[in-house]
């Protein structure tokens, strides 16, 4: 009889049931449990009443949230854990509820992975309307704002820019990175370039930050439109290149090179794979997410990003890993 490795067996069970954990978190965000608790200590019955839910069922999901370290239970009272206090209460500066809601929105797409692998095509794109649904678009952009609210501090602290004056933020979406850079550098002005239907939302985020005089918006298509010539000392390309194939990415980076001033800095922010393309795990799984949800997207390796930057003319190429799951590949003109 073959010897049983219980750790391997347990790993497979945990892997197979991993969606249980996600669904508990998705439901807690949907019911706004963490905001309802706030800084209080509540019994399950109290919370159930405030979120208009069944008391016994509420107690079960609260206990599950405790098991996931998202709540703390003392006797029969529940309170938010440090993670929940930082990231899961509406109104907090680093709230991630919209980002979590986005992962819930795309979960159904992953049920089509088998068909996508067989055909090599993004099945979920076949029945999409030509125009993005305004509600879905807002969900996506606010999700990106949530994630960028955390990463923008890390990026600004990591990149040693010297007195930047003019920055181009390509596919800047909610403008979170531009807002953070402009706050850090008093002389800096930024232009956020994105699709027309996105820029309508971008204006709202800029206005909320009170930076209308220093951040402008330009609507366009990064494959079809020009970025200008010798206009910017800093260009940020964040979480864009994973949507396209290598040829299109080189096209985008050539336009960046043209728009960059001499001695300027071109910053790529992405989930970067190692040379085996199997790690980090998030980047490997994200590449599948791009297979499922885009026509030609993927995660790429450092070697590929460096090759593209060299092709367009960049030198002094460096890499910096951020504290979370992404990296910066930086080139100079």
Q: Which pLDDT score, from 0 to 100, does residue 123 have?
A: 80
User: In sequence order, what DSSP letters do the residues of 166-213 get, joined into one string?
Assistant: EEEEET-TT-HHHHHHHHH-TT-EEEEEE-HHHHHHHHHHHHHHT-TT
The alpha-helical segments, DSSP class H, found in the chain are 6-16, 18-30, 33-37, 44-50, 55-67, 82-87, 97-106, 113-119, 134-158, 176-184, 196-209, 246-259, 281-293, 302-312
Q: Which residue ranges of the chain lie beneath pLDDT 50?
A: none
Within 10 Å of residue 158's Cβ, how many Cβ atoms?
15
For residue 227, the 8-state DSSP code is: -
Report CA torsion sign: 113, 119, 120, 124: negative
- C-alpha 148/C-alpha 324 separation (Å) is 11
Cα 145 from chain centre: 8
Give per-residue pLDDT as tens, 194-252.
999 999 999 999 999 999 999 999 999 999 999 999 999 999 999 999 999 999 999 99
Q: Which pLDDT score, from 0 to 100, does residue 129 have?
A: 54
Within 10 Å of residue 133's Cβ, how many Cβ atoms?
11
Domain 6-92 in CATH 1.10.10.10? The answer is: yes
Residues recognised as catalytic: 242
Second CATH level (architecture) for the domain 112-332 = 3-Layer(aba) Sandwich (3.40)
Within 10 Å of residue 169's Cβ, how many Cβ atoms?
29
Q: Give the residue extent of every domain in the chain.
A: 6-92, 112-332
- C-alpha 178/C-alpha 219 separation (Å) is 16
Q: Which pLDDT score, from 0 to 100, does residue 160 have?
A: 82
What are the strands of the beta sheet with 42-43, ordered from one edge? 42-43, 77-80, 71-74
And the tokens for 84?
A: 């929940």
Give per-residue pLDDT as tens, 104-132.
999 999 999 999 999 999 887 765 555 67
Q: Which pLDDT score, from 0 to 100, does residue 127 have?
A: 57
């Amino acid at each position: 009889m073959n010897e049983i490795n219980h750790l391997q067996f347990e790993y497979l069970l945990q892997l197979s049931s991993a969606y249980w954990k996600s669904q508990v978190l998705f439901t807690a965000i949907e019911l706004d449990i963490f905001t309802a608790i706030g800084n209080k200590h509540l019994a399950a019955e109290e919370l159930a009443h405030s979120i208009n839910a069944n008391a016994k069922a509420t107690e079960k999901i609260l206990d599950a949230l405790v098991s996931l370290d998202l709540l703390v239970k003392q006797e029969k009272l529940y309170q938010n854990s440090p993670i929940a206090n930082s990231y899961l209460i509406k109104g907090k500066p680093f709230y991630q509820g919209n980002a979590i809601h986005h992962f819930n929105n795309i979960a159904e797409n992953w049920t089509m992975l088998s068909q996508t692998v067989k055909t090599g095509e993004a099945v979920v794109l076949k029945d999409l309307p030509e125009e993005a649904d305004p509600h879905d678009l807002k969900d996506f952009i606010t999700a990106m704002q949530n994630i960028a609210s955390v990463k923008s501090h890390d990026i600004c602290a990591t990149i040693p820019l010297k007195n930047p004056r003019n920055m181009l933020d390509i596919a800047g979406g909610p403008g979170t990175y531009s807002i953070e850079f402009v706050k850090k550098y008093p002389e800096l002005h930024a232009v956020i370039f994105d699709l027309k239907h996105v820029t309508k939302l971008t204006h709202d985020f800029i206005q909320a930050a009170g930076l209308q005089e220093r951040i402008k918006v330009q609507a366009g298509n990064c494959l079809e439109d020009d970025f200008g010539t010798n206009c910017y000392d800093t260009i940020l390309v964040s979480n864009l290149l994973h949507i396209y194939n290598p040829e299109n990415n080189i096209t985008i980076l050539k336009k960046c090179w043209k728009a960059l001033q001499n001695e300027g800095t071109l910053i790529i922010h992405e989930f970067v794979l190692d040379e085996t393309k199997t790690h980090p795990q998030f980047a490997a799984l994200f590449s599948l997410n791009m297979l499922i949800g885009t026509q030609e997207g993927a995660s790429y390796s450092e070697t590929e990003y460096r090759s593209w930057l060299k092709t367009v003319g960049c030198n002094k190429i460096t890499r910096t890993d951020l504290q979370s799951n992404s990296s910066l590949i930086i080139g100079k003109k």
